[in-house]
Structure 1
Amino acid sequence: MKRTTLSERALVLAPHGRDAPIAASMLAESGIDAQVCTGLPHLIEELDAGAAFVVVTEEAIASADLHPLSDWLEDQEEWSDLPFVLLTSRGGGLERNPAARRHLEVLGNVTFLERPFHPTTLISLARSALRGRCRQYEARARLIALRDSENRFRTLFDTMDEGFCVIEFLDGPHGPASDYVHVQANAAYERHAGIPNVVGQRLRDMVPDEADAWVEMYRRVLMTGEPIRFEQELVATRRHLELAAFRVEPAERREVAVIFQDVTARKRAESELRELNETLERRVQDAVAEREAALAQLHEAQKLETLGQLTGGVAHDINNLLTPITGALDLLSRRHADSDPRSARLFEGALQSAERAKILVSRLLGFARRQALETRAIDVSSTLEGMRDLIASSTGSGIELRLVPSPGLPAAQADPNQLELAVLNLCVNARDAMDGGGVLTIAAEQAVVGPGDAGALRPGAYVRISVVDTGAGMDEATLAKAVEPFFSTKGIGKGTGLGLSMVHGLAAQLGGAFMLSSALGDGTRADLYLPVAQAAADPAPVGGNDAIRPVKPLTLLLVDDEDLVRAGTAEMLRDLGHVVHEASGGAQALAKLGPDHKFDAVVTDYMMPQMNGVELAGRIAARDPGLPLLVVTGYAGGNLDVGLPQLAKPFRQADIAAAIERLVHGEKVVRLRPRRDANSAA
């Protein structure tokens, strides 16, 4: 190898301003060694010495000649995919940052981080990149082991005493697979068969008089996949040969491997030679299986790393951004909606958009198994009818939409948000399969599964939602892979390959099943089975401004490191009549909890630098065990396993009012167990 890649350090390229020393300092504080580079030539020089990942600013590469860097990346070994963290000012999406396409094409394995950003976000991405690089190093070790295995096989192939060849079947004037050519042969081939220089020669050119007999024997091996052992005289050289032949998988390669030796004078060695042939066959199969397993592990590691970066690094920041937006809109709506109907409609539309964004983040976390499903009894017919306009706008005017719900359909047990996303995914896939238009049918009916029915469903009653299109359909090979994560038949940038996988996972979590049936030219049918609910369907939630019950004014301590989030939350609480004292972190909150201040409750964010909300709760419990505390979180959908009352971001004024009311009057306050180290991570 021309360079080593054992280093676990970070390289930082940010030649303008103080970005480089600041980023290097942040990485160093988290325990990651960082080297600042002065320019692209310096960066490439340091890459040759070894690096785990690169932190680079957009302006550092915006107008630079990237050919040397592109050449370096193209020259990476097969196991290597160097991660980049690109600091941008306009985001990574093409709609906001058209230059992102160029960065994606050049850098490849790149994660975009929009400035300004929180230090914890950079450190989280850096550690994810480091973990991904370490997995690449592990994959490299496995590939080296595979190469060693292949070298041992090649040594055995070249030095073994038996003749060994691989033949490839060809179509010819005598019909399909009526001739074959030698594509590989070892040195012993000539010694045993008596024919020199066979690689590249056709059988009918070598031994035309006896070609039919040899073709027939080996063609049977190719067609059936069954190996054979036999003895045959090679008339052209008067050699009596003992041979073994087996098909080289997959069958589409049309290759057969042949092992043989001249046994004219060695009849007594039959048993020993048979054992050697069987051993060699097993070695070939083991080497092929080992290589395929290692490549599959490498691909799965890359998929999981991408999914982890997508969910963990983005959800918390989005919820933090949505919280002050939702709160401000909610307050303005309550103050002005009654006097201005037009403003009321605008406020409600904006709040609905914010709620959709919240649901989108929740769905992302749910797909990554970071958030539990919120199932209830739902009316499937009403749900589908409520989606009619959304489906119609998503599929376009060229698609005829038909909704066919069965009358008297029982309620199904499902998460309504996840179900809507699943149905929409199926409809979008159907739209893409009907290029030029077609008919999209969505049916819902009751299905009863008995003990003798085939499939993965348990016996019982189900509601079956069927999405049927008149599109191009899928062949058997595509259908077999359709629900695999990251498998997609769409072009680059037109699909992630996660849609059907998400639907399949949702059905399994709900205790149902997802089934696909398709044929080329006949369209595709997707069946989603949901268990029938034991109770009647819950009424759908009604939008609008929820009435807030008058509450007793309280003195509250509000702790949040995000200024905008803290200010918006404080304004909602003050509007309710509470007295609010603000703190930007755990240390400042503890300083305010002195004899000069008496608080009725503490409201704290969970994810904060230096001291998170759970650690702060432990400190407060040691001082004042009876003080109620509410944890606000934008990371895990309000479902943290910390033993404390929680409120998920983003929230409206009615949400936080109800949470505080339950906290100080309606719920028993749960306290954390004593901790040995109050500074340890929660």
Structure 2
Amino acid sequence: MTVSVLGRRLPAVATYVAGLGVSLFLLLLTIGVALWQSERSVELNQSVRESLETRSQLRLLLRNLQDAETGQRGYLLTGDESYLEPYLASRDEAPRSVELLEVAAGDNSERVAETQRLRELVAGKLDEVSQTVLLYRNGRRNEAMLIVESDRGKQLMDELRGIIAAAEAREQTDIVERMAAVDRSAQQLRFIVLFAGILLVAIGFLLVTAVRNAMRELRTSRDEARSAHERLLQEMGGREQAEAKVRQMQKMDAIGQLTGGVAHDFNNMLAVIISALQLAQRRLARGETDIARFTDAAMDAARRAATLTSRLLAFARRQPLQPTVLDVNRVVGGMSELLRRTLGEQIEFETVLAGGIWRVNADLSELENALVNVCVNARDAMSGGGKLTIETANAFLDEAYAAANIDVAPGQYVMIAVTDTGSGMPPEVKAKVFEPFYTTKEVGKGTGLGLSHVHGFLKQSGGHVAIYSEVGHGTSVKLYLPRTQLAETDAPLATPIEDLPPGDAGALILVVEDEERVRTLSVASLRELGYTVLHADSGVQALQVLERNPATALMFTDIVMPGMSGRKLADEAKSRWPTLKVLYTTGYTQNAIVHNGVVDADARLLLKPYSLNDLARKIRAVLDEPS
């Protein structure tokens, strides 16, 4: 099949692939240049900040020395010790400013020599002031005044002012040059984005035009086929030729639908790419460099158009809990090394694990996430270092505590306390810490979802969280999980891909999935594992297959399907064939077998996406369960 592009006939598939390939190349090139320019702008802005800091330290140094000199003269004239307060403060502050200037000088030989001379002059000036003060205190005022009148101090200050003025002028020149470089970078990036956007629009226009031409030709061919079909029926009445024309017409219709689908997908991709690039261009025009989300959106659209993969689930959907019986001491012990690395060397980390700890029934992954969230918050509250302690204990929350906390049921709990020696929280902050999106951190440093996630997980698990905090002394976050009488079971070890549980050709499995590609891959995976597999694309068809194959051992069904849902299908099938085992799968988390965030106890669920290893172990586990 060919398409018309600028009056030339080109192979359709090659044209679409070439257009998409060029678009992806331009997009990747634009993103790469944008990221490089953004990084360069960040480096230039950092240089500007360093120059401003250097100027600030130079001015602070000069002001300190001037204050010291003023205090000296006031003291020599009046003998009042209060005049020496600026000198005493400058005696500590001035050398500190010189040290910061030496750090800023780095390995620049000119600036190193400059700061070395500043250190000598500062030391000389402070020595001159100190000497006159000491002489005055010892009753030798005339000698002190002679030192002042010798102009030694004035010469030191004049040289200091000269060096500082030259350094400030140099830093100001550097700032102006770097700001100009930032502006040039932004201008270059705007030109690149505009050029790439124009090329993408042009390529998209050509491809859309080619697709429209192809569809028009297909419609013309379809109409001609229909006319030919009608003429043949009227003139020849030949059944065989009529059927051939009908088949040809159907092929044309199928090709037309396929071409229309390609145009639809590519138009969607172009809409996202063009919009994202235009938004990035507008931001750059305003001098903003935060365009990552727009370039990410454009890249995502290109990947979807090229690979036709399914969309990712929204990040905000809650995952269903799958609780298991846990020993919290074992959980905390297993996380100790991870937490030490997370906290860093400045934080002293300690665990205090109680003996005879009770068991809890909770989701292991969510419990680990909750502990990490709390520990990271504690680390951020100890910016200068400190100590973090994780303690476990058995606890009983009585009726009085439950009355004071209406969401708590009295009874036996296992407590995990995370205590830090950080800055603590005032009451007004503590009252809001569990609110979603509430954070006291700087913009970009936190989402405000950490503790609200911890609170929600504990509530789903029947537990409780309490915070005790005192400003300047630290915070203790106590997680309470209800005690369970169930016996602890060892967590199953991950099965390597080469050691998959063996399949059984005698076990007949029915795969029910309305999405053809997913169904095809599921069937192929199960057959690869050694099972005998049937498949259906709907609940109605699945029941028909079961009627013909009542010996089916397991039904592997999607939950969300048009018409009959997976849960309704399972209920109907189990009522007819009670020994049939069911394994659900879904890409959604809020559905018929998940209630209040917890998977139904009688439901066996495998969440999408899953690996071949996950599928093998889950199928084997369900088949091995007693009927």
With the length of structure 2 as denominator, give the TM-score of the two structures: 0.45
Structure number having the greater strand percentage: 1
Structure label with greater radius of gyration: 2
Q: TM-score, structure 1 length as denominator? A: 0.42
Which one has a larger percent helix, Structure 1 or Structure 2?
A: 2
